Structure 1
Amino acid sequence: MRDVVERVREDVTGKLEITREGIVHDLTTPNGRHELTALRVRRRLEHTMPSELPAHTGTPDVEAPDQGILRHPDVIVVALSDMADDGPFAPRSLLAAIEVVSRSNPDNDWVGKMRDYPLMGVPCYAVFDPRTGTGTVLSDIHDTPEGPRYAIRKDFVYGEDVAIGEWTISTTDLPRYPQ
């Protein structure tokens, strides 16, 4: 599936990812509110973290070849030293993956990535949902009969401070999608 994604990535709009169920195609490119949320979260995180830990947006993807999963988080926290390699990021090198929920495919963030990130070994997953002005931070991966899952879930409402890993940021003034 990875070969298919690589071949068609330049010719399709939106974002392509690989899950255990197959290829996810988010047809729409992120809108201004989505991108502004990712930017504000990234900047707020970087103000609280040491300089060797950037909050990164962009490429490359995060891939767990042994699981057949390729994901593209909106923001990741990863050590600068782990960014020096070519190719996709190793999921276990991430300190956190942050997603801003897409209007066109919210289940990709709330269901698919909530399942895939612990399976890949991403230790902390934060979700910001501009549709509802809420979010959650998940951590502490543990094994279950259905596979690895996050044991700790901390929900928040926009306007509250939220801890993502060791860092706390404000969610004040994060944009909402129009109703």
Structure 2
Amino acid sequence: MTIAPGDARRDAHLYETMRGVVERMRHDVPGKLEITKEGIVHDLPAPGGRHELTALRVRRRLEKVMPDEIVAHTGAPDVEDEPERVMRHPDIMVIAEADMDIEGSFDPRTLIAAIEIVSRSNPDNDWVGKMRDYPLLGIPVYAIFDPRTASGAVFSDIHSTPEGPRYATRKDFLYGEDVTIADWTIATEQLPRY
């Protein structure tokens, strides 16, 4: 569905409709439902154990080196920017514990970093869609771990472009190398592959 540019009421109504659909289906549909500028994205369930094991190991390694008031959160809620009409759910959200004490979705601008473990079923969601949405939402650091290739990248330094905000800096890594996410460096050894 295409919406005419500048039709804010219609855009807002469509977003609220999509939000309602996501909320109603969230517990009945396997995987994650997110809202982007293009509509609802359904990320099918990841290959279970290896996806979750990667998230667990990355989360634990980060929490060992971060101060106690910063957490690597893997649960609910989503991050949402209603004016931009985008609602996403990172696999790991690096956020101050104090910023979690809210009702509703997290403000994406309170995240220190968003981390995604690439899904085998929909890798473009992480490498393309979230690459567009996370700088738009003001998330300063975006890290991608890709178990398909045993590699990843960390993106930072949001800057303006004619197509909207984008990350200016990309640092690639291979599993086995240390990686720096925001202010913290962790090992990437012994992360599972698909």
TM-score by length of 2: 0.90
Are 1:17 and 2:34 an aligned pair? Answer: yes
Contact 1:135–1:155 (CA under 8 A) maintained in structure 2: yes
1:134 aligned residue: 151
| Counterpart Cα distance in 2 of 1:116 and 1:95 | 15
Contact between 1:44 and 1:169, CA under 8 Å: does it hold in 2?
Answer: yes
Separation in 1 of the partners of 2:143 and 2:64?
Answer: 17
Residue 29 of structure 1 and its aligned partner are, at CA, apart by: 4.5
* CA-CA distance at 1:30 after TM superposition: 4.8
RMSD: 0.8
| Superposed CA offset, 1:79-131 (max 9, x none) | 01101101111000000000000000000000000000000000000000000
Q: Deviation above 2 Å: which 4+ runs of structure 1? A: 27-30
Identity %: 71
CA distance in 2, matches of 1:39, 1:13: 20
- The structure with the largest alpha-carbon Rg is 2
TM-score, scaled relative to structure 1: 0.97
Q: Match for 2:118: what amino acid?
A: V
Match of 2:86 in 1: 69
Counterpart of 2:109 in structure 1 is 92
1:56 aligned onto 2:85: no
Q: CA deviation at 1:8?
A: 1.5
| Structure 2: distance between partners of 1:66 and 1:136 | 28
Partner of 1:38: 55
Q: Is the 8 A contact 1:15 1:29 kept in 2?
A: no
Unmatched 5+ stretches in structure 2? 1-17
Unaligned runs of 5+ in 1: none
CA distance in 1, matches of 2:183, 2:134: 18
Equivalent residue, structure 2, for 1:122: 139
Structure-2 residue corresponding to 1:157: 174
Amino acid at match of 1:11: D
Report deviation, 1:28. 2.2
The answer on whether the counterparts of 1:160 and 1:170 sit within 8 Å (CA) in structure 2 is: yes
Decide which moves more: 127-136 or 1-10: 1-10
Conservation of the 8 A alpha-carbon contact between 1:13 and 1:29: no
- AA aligned to 2:86 is I
Q: Distance in 2 between matches of 1:30 and 1:42?
A: 18
Aligned length: 177
